[in-house]
Amino acid sequence: MGKSTTAINLGASLALLGRQVLLVDMDPQGNSTSGVGIDKTSLRVTTYDVVTGSVPAEEAVQGTATDRLWIMPSDVRLAGAEVELVAQIARETKLRSAIRLLEPRYDFLLIDCPPSLGLLTINGMTAAESCIIPLQCEFYALEGLAQLMETISLIRRHINPALGVTGIVLTMVDQRTKLSEQVAADVRAHFPTLVLETEVPRSIRLAEAPSYGQPVMTYAPGSRGAEAYIALAREILKRLGLYVDGGDSSHEASNRESDPRSEPPANHDPTRGEFGDPQTTSVARIESPASVDSPATYTETDEQHRHERGDER
Ligand X SMILES: Nc1ncnc2c1ncn2[C@@H]1O[C@H](COP(=O)(O)OP(=O)(O)OP(=O)(O)O)[C@@H](O)[C@H]1O
Q: Would you tell me which residues interact with ligand X (CB under 6 A)?
A: 1-5, 27, 29, 31, 115, 171-172, 200, 202-203, 206-207, 210, 288, 293-294
Minimum distance, C-beta of residue 132 to ligand X, in the bound complex (Å): 12
- Segment 31-70, which members bind Mg ion (CB under 5 A)? 31
- Cα-based distances in Å from 120 to 48, 50, 80, 85, 139: 10, 12, 10, 9, 27
Nearer residue to Mg ion within complex by CB, 63 or 124: 124
Q: Helix crossing, 178-190 with 141-158: angle to 10°? A: 30
Helix, strand or coil for residue 244? coil
Identify which range of 28-36, 154-162, 189-197, 295-303 contacts Mg ion by CB under 5 A. Answer: 28-36
Element (H, E) at 50: helix 47-51
- Which of ligand X, Mg ion, none is residue 171 near (CB under 5 to 8 Å by kind)? ligand X
As a whole number of angstroms, the distance between CA 97 and CA 51 comes to 9
Nearer residue to Mg ion within complex by CB, 134 or 164: 134
Q: Bridge-partner residues for 22, per DSSP?
A: 70, 109
As a whole number of angstroms, the distance between CA 30 and CA 46 comes to 10
Q: What are phi and psi of 294, to 5 degrees?
A: -75, 145
Helix, strand or coil for residue 131? strand
Minimum distance, C-beta of residue 3 to Mg ion, in the bound complex (Å): 5
Minimum distance, C-beta of residue 220 to ligand X, in the bound complex (Å): 12
Sign of torsion over alpha carbons 242, 246, 247, 251: positive
Nearer residue to Mg ion within complex by CB, 17 or 95: 95
Minimum distance, C-beta of residue 172 to Mg ion, in the bound complex (Å): 14
Minimum distance, C-beta of residue 47 to Mg ion, in the bound complex (Å): 13
Nearer residue to Mg ion within complex by CB, 74 or 304: 74
Interface characters, 3-22, with Mg ion (x: CB under 5 A): xx------------------
Q: Which amino acid is at 34?
A: S
Number of neighbours of residue 224 by Cβ within 10 angstroms: 16
Minimum distance, C-beta of residue 66 to ligand X, in the bound complex (Å): 17
Nearer residue to ligand X within complex by CB, 55 or 79: 79
DSSP E strands: which ranges in 183-247? 195-201
The answer to whether 106 and 22 have CB atoms below 8 angstroms apart is: yes
Nearer residue to Mg ion within complex by CB, 4 or 214: 4
- Which of ligand X, Mg ion, none is residue 76 near (CB under 5 to 8 Å by kind)? none
Nearer residue to ligand X within complex by CB, 188 or 205: 205
Minimum distance, C-beta of residue 82 to Mg ion, in the bound complex (Å): 15
The answer to whether 168 and 196 have CB atoms below 8 angstroms apart is: yes
- Which of Mg ion, ligand X, none is residue 1 near (CB under 5 to 8 Å by kind)? ligand X
- Which spans of this chain sit near Mg ion (rule: CB under 5 A)? 3-4, 31
